[in-house]
Structure formats: C-alpha cells, structure tokens
C-alpha cells in the first residue's frame, strides 16, 4: 500500500456552515453542520486524469473486468440525489450525481469476496465490506449537478457511497480490489473508523 505523503488540503475558504434546525434531524447526522458550498478534502495532491487515460479494473474475482471511459459511459446510468457527510463535520444536502451502480460492475467480476478496497490514482485507498457497496448503495459517478466532475472533486470518475462518511468515497477511482480478508485503507490506517457510519458517529477507530 503506497503511503501518501504531504498535507491534507481542506478547501473550506468561502464555505459557510450553519447549524441545522430540528426539522432536519432526520437528514443531518449528529454533530454535523450544513455546508453552503462544496468543500474539497484531499490527502496529497489533486489528480488530473484525462478521460482517454482513465480506466477502472476490478481485481480479485475469477474475472478481472476493466472499463475505459467510453465503456463506462456506454453502461446504463442512474441520476440520483443524496446527502453527503464528511467526518470533518460538514453535511451537504441534495447533491445530484450521475453514474453507474457498483452492482452493474461487480456482476462482471464473478466473485464471492466479502471485502473491497477502492484504490485511486495517486495512491489513496479506502475499504468497505462488499455488502456496503452493493444493493444500490454505491456508484461510480462522472457527473455532479449534470456537469463533469471537476478534478478537485475526483473527476473524471469517483466512487460515491453516501451511506458512509465521505472519506469512503474514493476520488479518481482506478481499481476495486476484492478480498476475503478486510484490509484498511489510507484513513482507516491512520486512526479513522473502519466502517464510518455517520448516523452512529463512527469517526475514529474506537467510536
């Protein structure tokens, strides 16, 4: 596992946070504030990946399928609106994305693995049980608000797993490793929670 060096850039400038009213108690997890803008959180540097050079591979199954940008765009896509929650305490409501469900892609891998590790261009990685990225709970997305995802937010293609803190949503996704044993990713090795459920405030390893 490559270890990422350097600073964590927190693009909070110009972003305002407000305390959610009680009417939003079922939308905003405990301890979170509403972000007006869309903060950027990157460990290391922004990756600039040309669509023609991007590909996504699922490793570890009996098949190891790979998709180019054109392959991905040719698959049936979903446009969906979800709330996202960062462990640094901002929540953004009603974000709209377009992409391909992980279910569609994992069906090509012919596997029975229990764990996945999402691996990004640049070396970032984050783990989740396969059960958390199947059943309509995760996507590879390429549009945000009907526009191409900017490099800062993980374009051309990022993973999105809105049911978990946002560090589980790998930007610049490159591979998904399927494994029988769990394997912690970048933040999970650095003291963050292995599972990261925002509703249970699973921020740090012992939460």
Ligand X SMILES: Nc1nc2c(c(=O)[nH]1)N[C@H]1C(S)=C(S)[C@@H](COP(=O)(O)O)O[C@H]1N2
- Of 180 and 200, nearer to ligand X (C-beta) is 200
Binding map of ligand X across residues 45-84, x = CB under 6 A, - = no contact:
----------------------------------------
Taking every pair of C-alpha atoms in the chain, what is the biggest distance, in angstroms? 49
Determine which residue in the list 29, 39, 99, 101 makes contact with ligand X, applying CB under 6 A. Answer: 39
Q: Using the rule CB under 6 A, is 86 a contact of ligand X?
A: yes
Bridge-based pairing of strands 147-148 and 125-129 is unpaired
**Phi-psi group of 203: left, alpha or beta (phi > 0 → left; psi -120 to 50 → alpha; rest → beta):** alpha
Could you tell me which of 28, 146, 153, 40 has the C-alpha nearest to residue 93?
28
Q: Using the rule CB under 5 A, is 161 a contact of Mo ion?
A: no
Q: Which does 172 bind (CB under 5 to 8 A by kind): ligand X, Mo ion, none?
A: ligand X
Strands in 66-68's sheet, in edge-to-edge order, are 66-68, 55-59, 173-179, 115-120, 125-129
Determine which residue in the list 35, 77, 170, 178 makes contact with ligand X, applying CB under 6 A. Answer: 170
Site for ligand X, rule CB under 6 A: 39-43, 86, 120, 122, 124, 153-154, 166-167, 169-172
């Amino acid at each position: 596992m490559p270890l990422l060096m350097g600073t964590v850039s927190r693009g909070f400038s110009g972003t305002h946070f407000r305390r959610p009213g009680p009417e939003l108690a079922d939308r905003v997890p405990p301890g979170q504030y509403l972000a007006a803008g869309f903060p950027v959180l990157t460990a290391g540097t922004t990756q600039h990946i040309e669509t023609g050079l991007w590909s996504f591979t699922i490793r570890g199954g009996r098949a190891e399928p790979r998709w180019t940008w054109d392959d991905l765009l040719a698959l049936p896509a979903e446009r969906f609106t979800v709330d996202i929650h960062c462990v640094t305490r901002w929540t953004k409501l009603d974000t709209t994305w377009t992409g391909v469900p992980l279910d569609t892609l994992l069906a090509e891998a012919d596997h029975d693995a229990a764990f996945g590790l999402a691996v990004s261009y640049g070396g970032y990685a984050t783990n989740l049980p396969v059960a958390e990225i199947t059943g309509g709970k995760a996507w590879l997305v390429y549009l945000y608000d009907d526009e191409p995802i900017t490099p800062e937010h993980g374009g051309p293609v990022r993973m999105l797993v809105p049911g978990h803190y946002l560090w589980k949503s790998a930007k610049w996704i490159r591979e998904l490793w399927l494994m029988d044993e769990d394997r912690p990713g970048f933040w999970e090795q650095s003291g963050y929670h292995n599972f990261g459920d925002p509703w249970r405030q699973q921020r740090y390893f012992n939460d």
